[in-house]
Structure 1
Amino acid sequence: VVEQDFAVDGRCLRVADSLQALIGLGMAARDRTQARIIAVTGSVGKTGSKEALNFVLAAQALTSASKGSLNNHWGLPLSLARLPEQATFGIFEMGMNHGGEITPLSNMARPHVALITNVEAVHTAEFSSVEEIAQAKAEVFAGVEPVGMAVLNRDNDHYHRLADAARAAGIEQIIGFGMSEDADFRLVEESGDADGSSVTIDIAGNALSYRIGIAGHHWVMNSLGVLAAVAAAGGNVGEAARSLADLVAPQGRGRVHHLLLGGHPFTLIDESYNASPVSMNAAFEVLGQALTGVGGRRMAVLGEMRELGSDSATRHADLAGCIDRNDIDLVFTAGRDMAHLSEAIDPARRGAHEASPEDLLATVMAAIGPGDVVMVKGSLGSRTGVVVEGLLVATELPGEASPRVVNGH
Structure 2
Amino acid sequence: MNKIWTLKTLSHAAGGRLEGAPEDTPVSGISIDTRTLGPGDAYFAIKGVRMDGHQFVPAALAAGASAAVVSHGEADRAIHVDDVLAALERVGIAARGRLGAETPVVAVTGSVGKTGTKEMLRLAFGPGTHAAAASYNNHWGVPLTLSRMPADASAGIFEIGMNHAGEITPLTRMVRPHIAIITTVQPVHLEFFDSVDGIADAKAEIFEGLDEGGTAIVPADIAQTGRLVAAAREKAARVVTFGAPDADVALVAYDPQSGAADAQAFGTRVRYTIRGGAHIARNSLAVLAALHAAGRPFDAIDALSGWSAQKGRGRRVMLDVAGGQATLLDEAYNANPASMGAAIVSLGATPATRRIAVLGDMLELGATAPDLHRGLVPLLVDAGVRIVHTVGTMTSHLTDSLPFEMRGLHCEDAAAMAEALPPLEPGDALLVKGSNAVGLGRVVEAVETRTGQER
Regarding TM over 0.5, the answer is yes
Match of 1:377 among 410, 422, 433: 433
Q: Deviations over 1:312-354 (max 9, x none)?
A: 1111111111001111011110101011111111111111101
Match of 1:231 among 292, 299, 302: 292
Q: 2:220 & 2:367 partners in 1: Cα distance?
A: 30
Alpha carbons 2:111, 2:185 under 8 Å: kept: yes
Matched, 1:26 2:69: no
Superposition deviation, residue 128 in structure 1: 0.1
Amino acid at match of 2:189: H
Q: What is aligned with 2:349?
A: 289
Q: Deviations over 1:90-109 (max 9, x none)?
A: 00000000100000001000
Q: 2:284 & 2:387 partners in 1: Cα distance?
A: 31
Q: What is aligned with 1:249?
A: 309
Note the 1:42-121 alignment, pairs <5 A. 42-58=110-126, 61-121=127-187
Q: 1:268 & 1:203 partners in 2: Cα distance?
A: 33
Determine which structure has more spread, i.e. the larger CA radius of gyration.
2
Note the 1:7-406 alignment, pairs <5 A. 7-8=58-59, 9=62, 10=65, 11-14=67-70, 15-34=81-100, 35-58=103-126, 61-169=127-235, 171-181=236-246, 183-193=247-257, 196-214=258-276, 216-240=277-301, 242-262=302-322, 264-292=324-352, 296-364=353-421, 366-397=422-453
Superposition deviation, residue 162 in structure 1: 1.1
Alpha carbons 1:334, 1:356 under 8 Å: kept: yes
Alignment length, in residue pairs? 387
Superposition deviation, residue 283 in structure 1: 0.7
TM-score by length of 1: 0.91
Alpha carbons 2:128, 2:154 under 8 Å: kept: yes
**SS state at 1:95 partner:** coil
Superposition deviation, residue 54 in structure 1: 0.8
Q: Deviations over 1:223-253 (max 9, x none)?
A: 111111122123222122x122221112111
Q: For structure 1, which segment, 8-17 or 217-226, has the greater mean C-alpha deviation from structure 2 after superposition?
A: 8-17
Q: 2:388 & 2:423 partners in 1: Cα distance?
A: 11
Q: 1:265 & 1:200 partners in 2: Cα distance?
A: 30
Alpha carbons 2:215, 2:237 under 8 Å: kept: yes
Superposition deviation, residue 363 in structure 1: 2.2
Alpha carbons 1:63, 1:87 under 8 Å: kept: yes
Amino acid at match of 1:283: A
**SS state at 1:291 partner:** coil
TM-score by length of 2: 0.82
Q: Deviations over 1:53-102 (max 9, x none)?
A: 112222xx310112221101100000000111101110000000010000
Q: Deviations over 1:108-162 (max 9, x none)?
A: 0000000011111111110001111111001001111000100111122211211
Q: 1:303 & 1:206 partners in 2: Cα distance?
A: 42
Q: For structure 1, which segment, 226-235 or 68-77, has the greater mean C-alpha deviation from structure 2 after superposition?
A: 226-235
Q: What is aligned with 2:12?
A: none
Q: What is aligned with 1:406?
A: none
Amino acid at match of 1:84: P
Alpha carbons 1:259, 1:267 under 8 Å: kept: yes
Q: What is aligned with 1:2?
A: 45
Structure 1 residue ranges, 4+ long, deviating more than 4 angstroms after superposition: none
**SS state at 2:319 partner:** strand
Amino acid at match of 1:172: A
Q: 1:209 & 1:263 partners in 2: Cα distance?
A: 37
Q: 2:125 & 2:266 partners in 1: Cα distance?
A: 22
RMSD value over aligned CA atoms? 1.6
Q: Deviations over 1:270-298 (max 9, x none)?
A: 00011111111111111111122xxx311
**SS state at 2:136 partner:** coil
Q: For structure 1, which segment, 74-83 or 197-206, has the greater mean C-alpha deviation from structure 2 after superposition?
A: 197-206
Q: 1:114 & 1:239 partners in 2: Cα distance?
A: 19
Q: 1:334 & 1:262 partners in 2: Cα distance?
A: 26
Amino acid at match of 1:175: V
Alpha carbons 2:212, 2:237 under 8 Å: kept: no
Amino acid at match of 1:53: L
Overall identity of the aligned pairs, in %: 40
Q: 2:441 & 2:270 partners in 1: Cα distance?
A: 37
Q: 1:327 & 1:355 partners in 2: Cα distance?
A: 25
Structure 1: gaps (5+ residues): 401-408
Superposition deviation, residue 263 in structure 1: 6.2
